[in-house]
Amino acid sequence: MSQTINHSSVDVVVLGMGVTSGTVAVELAKAGYKVVGLERGPHWDFASDFFYTKYDEWGIGFMRKFDINLAITTATLRNNSNQFALPVRRNTIGYSGQIISEGWGVGGMAQHYGGVMGRYGPWVYQTYSDTVSKYGLGFLNNAVPHQDIIDWPMTYEEYMPYYEQWEKMWGVCGTNEGPLLPGFTDSNYSYPLPPPPFTPVGTAFKNATEALGYSPFPGPIALASQSFVNAYGVGVQQCMYDGWCAGPCNYTCETGAKANSDFRTVPAAISSGNFELRTNSYVFRLDTDSSGKIIDVRYYDEQGNVNIQPGTVFFNGLWGFNIVKLMLNSGVGTPYKPTTATGSLGRGIAMGVPPPVRTVTGILENIGGNGYPCGNGYGGAYAIRDLCDDNFDHTGLDFIGGAFPEAGFYPGGGPNNFAFYADQPTPAMIGSTFKASLKDAFLPTKTLAAFAPSGVSPPVTDWYVDLDPHYTDRYGDPLPRLTIDWTMNGVNCANYLAPKCADILTKMGATNVQTTPTVTTASHNPAWQAHMRGGARIGSDPATSVFNKWQQCWTSQNLFSAGEICKPMGDNTTAGTHPIGPMSYVAAEGVKNYLKSPGPLV
């Protein structure tokens, strides 16, 4: 029979132990504060948990064995408010499938992300004001009808020192991001670890883009290219380039080279003596006093007991829309009302990188590759920023932002068997002829190069997160309901930039360069993405944001949060993990300031 267990109060209670939570936990624990971390999954050990079990393409790619079971909790989806939202109950594969299940355990989804890094540029932080100032409000409203874009409460320049602090701790590999991104060539700063070896395709891309007047740079990643010890004294082993890294939402790392909180921050928090980690703890409620301050958090343990953990400060580091779900179920924050476009909690939700719209392909006749497992997920490549953000003139165009061309990833960065065999079976896929065609499939003598430019996905007033009135999680709480879709912004951007990508392929020496036809309609979204942005935004105005510049909740002053769901605006220059790193350090500083002098920090 379950019971209620009351715990002693601590200084800081951290909810979830993913990317941002690890930073807050170690910073506060090493500062001498008592911290408790609550994680709904297990505490993975890469040597014992991943060394043998990661080599399971079916179990990871289809069964998602390192993700949460969707029977425990999930979300419901619809593309507009007139539809009946349906719950996602199983994982599928492919770009349009539900290959993401929120992660599971210490380290969160970063246990099996690709490790793609890259900062947001200055334009992202001031998208609204910069666009209106340069092109006018009419241009913005035409490019993004019903736009709900707000500026970040801090500029890129203000985030720069937090970026550097996080990059050195995380072990970001690369050099810089070219002259179009401040803070590198103008200050002699480079990423702390060198880039991994480049591929022939990456080198061809670099030479071609330079010849076209662009500024290529090594694609930043968080798969340690060499061993190092970070600022917290955590030792990190270098990548072994075994090739079981990329794939359908990627693979866990058996050496700890793939950066996540489990391998970068949590060990130092534990060794401080001020941090207690509680796993298999499913957080379901925040309790408040009459002023709106959080007094405790309730969670279920592995036996089904209700645990009550009081604290002075609470950091909501749950994954994605679960931040919104917890706050809505707890009555914290002001829920968004789409009919009047008022309220802030659940507002401004948007997805990450849009799906391929127009594809440009070509054959590099003299560049082969090794498709057998080798290399890592996203090393070996070069990228350019010249075609992203507002780095080119948008006068007369019908979209904002741009695309982020990059090329040269290791062809054997993942096991790749699904790529050959996961399509729908046909009669041609049997017999000696089919077998002969596969004989050297992993050792191609030429490379099919492709670009699929698509623009950013800005928030609009039609998209939001609320509680589903029909479906609940295993414990009876309403599921989060996502009302979300794609806009024409990404389509219009792809139509404009596809010819420029064709020019790059041609300059690379590709033959048979082909571009798919112009697209006139946006696709509909059937799944949620790993990199959901907005819904619990930071901002300067409590009417349109949930948290202030210090990641402090406007309505509950002792509640802090950081994560992609807190971004006011995202971008497609990076998957999205990198920019939440500096947000976590801002939050940690805000928590420290609050503990020293409780009250609103803004």
Distances from the Cα of 381 to the Cαs of 218, 365, 407, 476, in angstroms? 6, 19, 5, 46
Neighbours of 393 (CB within 10 A): 9
Tell me which CATH code domain 4-596 carries. Answer: 3.50.50.60
pLDDT at residue 479, rounded to an integer: 97
Kindly state the average pLDDT of the residues 22-45.
97
Instruction: Name which of 86-95, 108-117, 132-141 the model is least confident about.
Output: 86-95
Instruction: Name which of 40-44, 265-269, 439-443, 589-593 the model is least confident about.
Output: 439-443
Residue with tokens 């995202």: 570
The residue ranges of DSSP E strands in 206-288, in sequence order, are 217-218, 228-229, 235-236, 275-278, 282-288
pLDDT at residue 452, rounded to an integer: 92
Residues 350, 459 contacting (CB under 8 angstroms): yes
* Segment 182-186 long-range contacts (CB within 8 Å, at least 24 positions apart): 182/122, 182/156, 182/157, 183/119, 183/156
Residues 538, 548 contacting (CB under 8 angstroms): yes
pLDDT at residue 426, rounded to an integer: 76
pLDDT at residue 425, rounded to an integer: 67
Instruction: Name which of 58-62, 296-300, 433-437, 582-586 the model is least confident about.
Output: 58-62
Distances from the Cα of 287 to the Cαs of 257, 281, 510, in angstroms? 39, 17, 61
pLDDT at residue 420, rounded to an integer: 55
The closest of 40, 526, 86 to 322, measured between CA atoms, is 40
Instruction: Name which of 48-57, 161-170, 294-303, 371-380 the model is least confident about.
Output: 48-57
Pairing of strands 228-229, 235-236: antiparallel
Three-state SS for 329-373 is HHCCCCECECCCCECCECECCECCCCCCCCCEEEEECCCCCCCCC
Kindly state the average pLDDT of the residues 14-19.
97
Distances from the Cα of 72 to the Cαs of 84, 161, 479, in angstroms? 21, 39, 10
Type of residue at 372: Y
Residue boundaries of the structural domains of the chain = 4-596
Per-residue pLDDT band at 178 (split at 50, 70, 90): confident
pLDDT at residue 602, rounded to an integer: 97
pLDDT in tens, 184-223: 877 789 999 999 999 999 999 999 999 999 999 999 999 9
On the question of pLDDT at 384 being above 60, the answer is yes
On the question of pLDDT at 325 being above 80, the answer is yes
- DSSP notation for 397-432: -S-SS----EE---TTSS--HHHHH-SPP-GGGSHH
Kindly state the average pLDDT of the residues 165-178.
96
Residues 183, 245 contacting (CB under 8 angstroms): no
In whole numbers, what is the pLDDT of the chain averaged over residues? 93
Neighbours of 430 (CB within 10 A): 10
pLDDT at residue 431, rounded to an integer: 86
What is the C-alpha separation between 219 and 380, in angstroms, rounded? 8
pLDDT at residue 26, rounded to an integer: 98
pLDDT at residue 379, rounded to an integer: 94
Per-residue DSSP letter, 290: T
pLDDT at residue 424, rounded to an integer: 60
Per-residue pLDDT band at 522 (split at 50, 70, 90): confident
Any bridge partners for residue 511, and if so which? 363
pLDDT in tens, 304-323: 999 999 999 999 999 999 99
Helix (H) or strand (E) holding 447: strand 447-451
Kindly state the average pLDDT of the residues 165-192.
93
Alpha helices in 80-119 (DSSP H): none
pLDDT at residue 418, rounded to an integer: 65
Higher pLDDT, 558 or 59: 558
pLDDT at residue 143, rounded to an integer: 97
Higher pLDDT, 505 or 114: 505
On the question of pLDDT at 94 being above 60, the answer is no
Please report, in angstroms and rounded to a whole number, the separation of the first and last CA atoms in the chain.
Answer: 46
Per-residue pLDDT band at 300 (split at 50, 70, 90): very high
pLDDT at residue 554, rounded to an integer: 98
Any bridge partners for residue 278, and if so which? 38
**Beta-carbon contacts of residue 596 (< 8 Å; ≥ 6 apart):** none
| Residue 264 DSSP SS3 | helix
Instruction: Name which of 353-357, 403-407, 573-577 the model is least confident about.
Output: 353-357
Per-residue pLDDT band at 430 (split at 50, 70, 90): confident
Three-state SS for 465-523 is EEEEEEEECCCCCEEEEEECCCCHHHHHHHHHHHHHHHHHHHHCCCEEEEECCCCCCCC
On the question of pLDDT at 158 being above 90, the answer is yes
Kindly state the average pLDDT of the residues 103-122.
93
Instruction: Name which of 231-240, 245-254, 310-319 the model is least confident about.
Output: 245-254
Question: Burial letters for 560-579: b for 16+ Cβ neighbours within 10 Å, e otherwise?
Answer: bbbbbbbbbbbbbbbbbbbb
What is the C-alpha separation between 536 and 562, in angstroms, rounded? 9
On the question of pLDDT at 390 being above 90, the answer is yes
